[in-house]
A and B are shown apart, each in its own frame.
Chain A
């Protein structure tokens, strides 16, 4: 995935079955952001792989005061890249039995 300066990673192991997965997002390179990154911590949230849209979550983060509106695009893209990777891997691996 392209390095946007905003990092998104799995916050839990992906068994390949659950639709909602916990992700963790943090800013590795604040200079890449237009607005100030308020918190400096990692933000953990759950994301529904089937129903939800990365850009909508990014907008919720802006509305929750984590990011400036002008950074919604870069945050949305970072989430989108990670979600795409999760889905790509799932297509290629047989889910482990619970």
Chain B
């Protein structure tokens, strides 16, 4: 899946990708 990107006005890039499966807390 293509990761979405948001670039903040100050120039920092935030790349959004799926949460690592193994790390999801078991409910």
Contacts and interface: CB of A to CB of B under 8 A. Distances in A.
Interface of A: 7, 9, 24, 26, 28-29, 39-46, 57, 60-61, 63-66
Contact of A61 (B14, B23, B25): B14
Nearest to B25: A28
Categorize the interface residue count of chain B.
Answer: 10 to 19
B27 to A, nearest CB: 10
A60 B13 CA distance: 10
Contacts of A26: 19-20, 23
Interface string B1-27: 001101011101111111110011100
Contacts of A29: 25
